[in-house]
Amino acid sequence: MWHIMVYTNGFKSYCHPYAVHLFTSRKISPERAFKRVAKILAEEFSSKWKRRAFPPWIEGEEVVLEYAGYEKIPVKLPEGYIAVRFSIGRWSDEIEIERYIPRVPLSDFATLEEYRRRQITLDYDIYDEEEKWRVLRRVEEAVAFLESLSFKESVKVYKTLHGYHVRALLKQPLHSINEVLYLRKNLLDDPYRYALDMAYMHEGLVFLTNVLFNEKCWYNNGSIICKKEEEVEVVDGRVYTKELADLKRRLSTLIEKLTSEVRG
Q: Would you write out the chain's pLDDT as a tens digit for each of its 264 residues?
A: 999 999 987 666 556 688 999 999 999 999 999 999 988 988 887 655 444 434 433 333 344 788 899 999 999 999 999 999 888 877 666 899 999 999 999 999 999 999 999 999 999 999 887 888 899 999 999 999 999 999 999 999 999 999 999 999 999 999 999 999 999 999 999 998 999 999 999 999 999 999 999 999 998 877 899 999 999 988 888 887 766 666 667 777 777 777 776 766
Return d(Cα 52, Cα 42) in angstroms, integer: 9
The pTM is what?
A: 0.85
pLDDT of residue 264: 61
> What DSSP string describes 208-221?
GSS---SEEEEEET
**What residue type is assigned to position 58 of the chain?**
I
List the beta strands (DSSP E) in the chain.
2-8, 18-24, 65-72, 80-88, 95-102, 119-125, 152-159, 163-170, 215-220, 223-228, 230-235, 238-240
Sheet order of strands, 119-125 included: 119-125, 163-170, 152-159, 230-235, 238-240
Alpha carbon 119 to its chain's center: 14
Alpha carbon 238 to its chain's center: 23
Beta bridge partners of 4: 22, 70
Beta bridge partners of 233: 240
DSSP state of 250: H
Return d(Cα 22, Cα 65) in angstroms, integer: 14
Alpha carbon 158 to its chain's center: 12
Q: Is 154 exposed, middle or buried (0-12, 13-18, 19+ CB in 10 A)?
A: exposed
Residues 212 and 121: beta-carbon distance below 8 Å: yes
